[in-house]
Copies of this chain bind each other. A is one copy, B any other.
Amino acid sequence: MPSSQRRARERASTRDRIIEAALHVLENDGSAALTIRRIATDVEYSAPVVYQHFANKEALVLELVAYGHGLLLAELQEALGESGIDQRMLRIAAGYVRFAGAHPHLYEVMNGTAVPADERRRAAEPAVDVLKDQLITWSQAHDVMLTDLDEACEIIWGTVYGLASLGGLGTIGNERAQRLAEQAVHAILLGWRTGTPLR
């Protein structure tokens, strides 16, 4: 009975096609156009078919978020090609901001409130871990004892996130936002190296 296998393949295939269509809609027409009916129409199905592959819209969007974090991860790993830990940290910051600028709608969904906070956090984990790794080697390279690694990581991550979001906010261009992020990270790392305690 190879037919059941073919059925399963077809199922998975249309599932993927739905995701791709959703991604296409999101990147082209923004999150406001990301409706079940629109997606279904694009894959030439009626709306209820989507619910045979995803429990609800949130589950589908979560898939887009996962995909987005895959892209982000790739961008960050590209930054790891840089030799020299300090350069690498700056490239990570710039890479993050560049990603946000290259995929504004996807980035918006990844960080918006359409998906619950804990799921967002889980999706971001691998990317955060890349930063955490680099932060470890940075602290070793400069012989800096970071009192709390997670805290330090969140400072960097939060900073870059803030500047990326501000960059997407429009007034400042993406290249400038990249430079600002680099500058901010540079300053923060420098502050940690000179090790002036806070108060």
Q: Which residues of A does B touch, CB under 8 Å?
A: 31, 90, 108, 111-113, 117-118, 120-121, 151, 154-155, 157-163, 165-166, 169-172, 176, 179-180, 182-184, 186-192, 194, 196, 198-199
| Chain A to chain B: the 10 pairs with minimum beta-carbon distance, closest first | A162-B162, A187-B191, A158-B163, A158-B162, A158-B166, A187-B188, A190-B191, A161-B162, A117-B170, A159-B159
| A92 to B158 Cα, complex, angstroms | 17
The answer to whether B161 and A182 have CB atoms under 8 Å apart is: no
Q: How far is the CA of A141 from the CA of B16 in the complex (A)?
A: 59
Please tell me if the beta carbons of B170 and A154 are within 8 angstroms of each other in the complex.
no
Task: Give Cα A69 to B75, complex, Å.
Answer: 35
**Chain B residues positioned under 8 Å from A182 (CB to CB):** 198
15 A-B residue pairings within 8 Å (CB atoms): A108-B113, A111-B165, A151-B180, A154-B163, A155-B163, A155-B187, A157-B162, A158-B159, A161-B166, A186-B196, A187-B188, A187-B189, A190-B191, A190-B194, A190-B196
A199 neighbours in B (Cβ, 8 Å): 90
